């Protein structure tokens, strides 16, 4: 009789276990993708860059120094112009302006005057040479290089952007969707 009873269907406990397992799987999927489809890491990094550029713009106006943003394919750093030695130096007096590396799988695309700039990693063989000037400058007068800096996640093609105009005003475009790779 127990075999006949067993073949009639699932018990309530078995159904509940399956429902709980499915709920856990769905919640893990939602948490990994994000409810809005945004890439929180790209958004966080683009907000950081925008905030630091705004701080540096204010600092340039207050202190009367020229600053810049040197961008590599997967890293960036803030620099200041040393007029006495005619060269750009890393900003080292405040830790928030330190050199930063992007998370794995994220890279930059820089546009100046609607033209894409080829970003190069520093040549380790030429470590003693003077580093290149920044691609984005912030003058002591408050004027700056108009630019569009896009962060791209290579795996999903999600993007977030920071743009700046000639007057030092920055705008932020957070990641809005994840595109399917082509």
Give the pLDDT of residue 26. Answer: 82
The two three-digit tokens of residue 53, written as one number:
């550029």
Residue 18 three-state SS:
helix
Say yes or no: 107 and 89 in one domain: yes
Percent of all residues in the chain with a pLDDT value above 70, rounded to a whole number: 83
CB 134 within 8 A of CB 79: yes
Q: Is residue 181 part of a domain?
A: no
Is 179 a member of any domain? Answer: no
69 and 18 in a single domain? The answer is: no
Structural domain tally of the chain? Answer: 2
* pTM listed for this prediction: 0.72
The residue written with tokens 């302006």 in the block is 97
What is the per-residue pLDDT for 182? Answer: 41
Between CA 66 and CA 142 the distance in angstroms is 9
In a domain, residue 180? The reply is: no
Residues 55 and 143 in one domain: yes
The predicted-structure confidence for 9-35, as pLDDT tens digits, reads as follows: 788 888 889 999 998 888 776 665 555
At CA 118, angle to CA 115 and CA 119, rounded to 5?
A: 125
Residues 25 and 113 in one domain: no
């Amino acid at each position: 009789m127990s075999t006949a009873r067993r073949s009639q269907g699932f018990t309530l406990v078995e159904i509940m276990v399956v429902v709980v397992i499915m709920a856990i799987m769905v919640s893990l999927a939602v948490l990994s993708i994000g409810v809005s489809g945004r890439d929180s890491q790209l958004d966080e990094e683009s907000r950081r860059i925008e905030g630091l550029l705004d701080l540096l713009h204010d600092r340039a106006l207050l202190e009367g120094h020229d600053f810049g943003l040197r961008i590599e394919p997967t890293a960036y750093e803030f620099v200041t112009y040393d007029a006495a030695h005619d060269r750009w130096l890393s900003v080292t007096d405040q830790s928030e302006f330190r050199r930063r590396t992007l998370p794995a799988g994220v890279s930059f695309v820089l546009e100046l005057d609607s033209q894409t700039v080829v970003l190069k990693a520093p040549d380790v063989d030429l470590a003693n040479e003077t580093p290149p000037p920044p691609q984005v400058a912030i003058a002591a007068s408050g004027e700056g290089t108009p630019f569009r800096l896009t962060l791209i996640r290579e795996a999903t093609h999600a993007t977030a952007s920071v743009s700046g105009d000639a007057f030092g005003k920055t705008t932020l475009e957070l990641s809005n969707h994840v595109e399917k790779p082509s």
